[in-house]
Amino acid sequence: MTLSPCERAKQSILEEFEKFRLKIEPTEKEKSDISASNNKMREILKNSAEISVVDSFLTGSYARQTMIRPLKDVDFFVQMNYGAHKNDNSMQLLHKVRRVLYKAYPTTRITITLPCVKVQFNYCYFEIVSAFAIEGNEDLFKIPANEGIGWQQTYPKIPNKWMTQENKKSEGLFIPTIKILKRWRDIHCPQLRSFHLEMLTRMAFDNYTIEDYAGGVWAFFARTSYLLDLYKDHPFVPEPGRDNAYVDQYLYANPFLLAAVRQKIKVYFVFAQKAFDYMQKGQISFAKQAWSKILGSGFYTPLTLPSPFSSLLMPSAPISTQTTFPTFLSELLKKKNDGWNA
């Protein structure tokens, strides 16, 4: 069976996405190092005479399997015995945990960076959070506040649960798409917090039927661009398990940061749409270059080709005021799907 130019382009691009996904996965050695460090610290903390530990577990991107290379932080929760530490304030507890770890790792940089103790290994760092379980709710914990002496409540296990559910619903596309988007974030938009990106990706998957990584990345930019225009002055991404708390509150607390992130999303939405346009025309190299503008040179590096992107640094023209943004998105999605099914 002879493939059309569009089908050949789609096949080639999806192969490129799969190669890229494998490139950004933590290596087996990195995973082994994290596991070894985690197990050692668990034993150190558990066997210490200075503190009393009930349980410990990994959270964050590593536990949710959304961590990418190069490695950054691994989140490590340590549930303390409330009876033994009820008279310790948050800073006293953090200093105790730091002392215990410093005795075991005297040459390692170990600092208190609220709300955690940060242990800087040569391959990544661990953020160790001291926590008390809240009676009557197995998911709720009390941890040191982000500023000063005090406490805050958090649900460290809930994101892990919904991440597993979302990935199952998408037949395994959700987590790898988040990893791919995290590479875009690391290169182009570090102001966007990692967990915030995960929640925005969830909103894109809830709104569109995603069939592959390219479609997932496109949907993220399409949906996020629309939502940031819709919610101009107040947060809209609820924090899992918490009432009246928003993952994107930090963004709306800083108008300059919000404007910068909104503009970045719009710019890279243009690149994503251009990538699909080139694919529909069967222009494989140009399509791959468009994706590399989003995901970096690790995605695709052409040998020698003229760049078609000098006019893509900003959207060439504003969206017509006579077309609503949701309608505009629907037209783009229809165009993409028509091209792929040609």
Q: Is the peptide bond before 70 cis (omega within 30 degrees of 0)?
A: yes
Whole-model pTM? 0.88
Find how far residue 66's CA is from the centre of its chain. 7
Angle between helices 174-188 and 284-295 (to 10 degrees): 70
Mean per-residue pLDDT, 55-75? 96
Reported as a single tens digit per residue, the pLDDT across 250-268 is: 999 999 999 999 999 999 9
For residue 159, count other CB atoms closer than 10 A to its CB.
Answer: 22
Question: Percent of the chain beyond pLDDT 90?
Answer: 82
pLDDT per residue over 294-313, tens digit each?
Answer: 999 999 877 655 555 555 54
What's the rounded Cα separation, in Å, for the pair 9 and 6? Answer: 5
pLDDT at 243: 81
The per-residue pLDDT of the chain, averaged, comes to 90
**pLDDT score recorded for residue 323:** 34
Q: Which residues, 6 or more positions from 310, have their beta carbon under 8 angstroms from its beta carbon?
A: none
Which pLDDT does position 315 carry in this prediction? 40
Q: Where are the beta strands (DSSP E) in 135-203?
A: 141-144, 151-154
Instruction: Say what the pLDDT of residue 332 is.
Output: 55
Per-residue pLDDT, 321: 32
d(CA 174, CA 286): 26
